[in-house]
Amino acid sequence: MEEGQWRTARRLVREARRVIALTGAGISAESGVPTFRDAGGLWRSYRPEELATPEALARDPRTVLEWYAWRRSALAACRPNAGHRALARFFLRRGEAGLVTQNVDGLHTRAALEEAGDASADPALPIELHGAVGRDRCDGCGTRFPAEPLGDALPRCGACGGLRRPDVVLFGEPLDAEVLDRARELAEQADLCLVIGTSAVVYPAAALPLATLEAGGHIVEVNVRRTTLTDAATAAVRGEAGTVLPALLD
Ligand code: APR
């Protein structure tokens, strides 16, 4: 790791008044959750338009729901890693929410609850831009439910009879406007945006670090390789999130 980048990153974290952290699939890679675009990533074995789109859900709901049931079972075996836990401790210590994730694996929430113990986990709970695969949402009335195992019949909402589908943003679906507004507000108020484990190619999430930059703040990137954001970062720390974050944040 280049010494100057590391020293700059440490100084920016130490001096920051308001921090937002944007995470992507890379922070969960060390927990065994496949990323999207790395070799062997999730999309390598499927084409997004086959499964994670509203059209696919309408055309063949059972296949889409079975794929998500498979992803849920794969995730059940995954645990938050040292990177998730270091981020949770960081925001618990600061006492103010600032964690925004693109991930739907729920590992930031589990890390927050584990690190907070009996205290309030609120400051470390993530804003989930793309939802969470551990929850269902009714396609009709939007009611949310804890995910349940997929039975023979398609899961229906008890209130309106609509299809219960994973509470995730499918390709082509809009993000929840309130969620996005909150994330944008945090990005604009922050003087430091930590960008961790994301290829920063999917919008509107990828616009958040730029909002911090435009408001006069800095970007610190933690990634195992360069991304489209690397040149905009004041410090780019090359390394795995599970190793870098405890050293950078604790
Ligand atoms: N530590 C840090 N970074 C890592 C690690 C690691 N251990 N392993 C991989 N990375 C980096 C990769 O270099 C890459 O830049 O994580 C990034 C993963 O990028 P993607 O696979 O594109 O995942 P992400 O950026 O989260 O995708 C954004 O795209 O498919 C949609 O909705 C989906 O939320 C997802 C969005």
196-227 confidence digits (pLDDT tens): 999 999 999 999 999 999 999 999 999 999 99
In DSSP terms, 19 is beta-bridged to 192
Any catalytic annotation for residue 218? no
- DSSP E strand boundaries for the chain: 19-23, 99-101, 127-128, 131-138, 144-146, 164-168, 192-196, 218-223, 235-238
Distances (CA, A) of 204 to 65, 167, 183, 220: 25, 18, 10, 19
Residue-wise pLDDT tens digits, 100-129: 999 999 999 999 999 999 999 999 999 999
pTM, full prediction:
0.94
Q: What is the pLDDT of residue 3?
A: 77
Q: Are residues 213 and 94 in the same domain?
A: yes
| Residues 154 and 184 both lie in one domain | no
Name the residue range of residue 221's domain. Answer: 3-33+79-130+174-249
Q: Do both 62 and 102 map to the same domain?
A: no
Mean pLDDT of the chain: 93
Question: How many angstroms separate the alpha carbon of residue 231 from the centre of ligand 1?
Answer: 17
Residues 121 and 146 in one domain: no
Q: How confident is the model at residue 57 (pLDDT cuts 50, 70, 90)?
A: very high
Tell me the pairing of strands 164-168 and 131-138: antiparallel
Distance 197 CA to ligand 1 centre (A): 5
How confident is residue 180, by pLDDT bands cut at 50, 70 and 90? Answer: very high
Q: Is residue 1 very low, low, confident or very high in pLDDT (cuts 50, 70, 90)?
A: low
98 and 194 housed in the same domain: yes
Domain boundary among 147, 168, 189: 168
pLDDT at 131: 96
Phi first, then psi, for residue 73 (nearest 5°) are -70, -35
Nearest CA to ligand 1 atom 29: 202
Determine if ligand 1 sits within 6 Å of the CB of residue 130.
yes
* Residue 68 belongs to domain with CATH number: 3.30.1600.10
Task: Please indicate whether residue 40, judged by its CB atom, sits closer than 6 Å to ligand 1.
Answer: no
Instruction: Identify whether residues 209 and 236 lie together within a single domain.
Output: yes
Q: Domain check: are 191 and 238 in the same one?
A: yes
What are the angstrom distances between the C-alpha of 26 and each of 31, 65, 119, 231?
10, 25, 28, 19
Q: Are residues 54 and 164 in the same domain?
A: yes
Domain count, the chain: 2
Query: Is 224 a pocket residue for ligand 1 (Cβ < 6 Å)?
Result: yes
> Exposed/middle/buried for 40, CB within 10 Å: 0-12, 13-18, 19+?
exposed
Residue 45: is its pLDDT beyond 70?
no
118 and 12 share one domain: yes
- DSSP-based helix, strand, coil % in the chain, nearest 5: 45, 15, 40
Same domain, 194 and 154: no
Cβ count near 134 (within 10 Å) = 18
Q: Are residues 96 and 180 in the same domain?
A: yes
If asked whether residues 84 and 72 sit together in one domain, one would say no
pLDDT of 43 > 70? The answer is: no
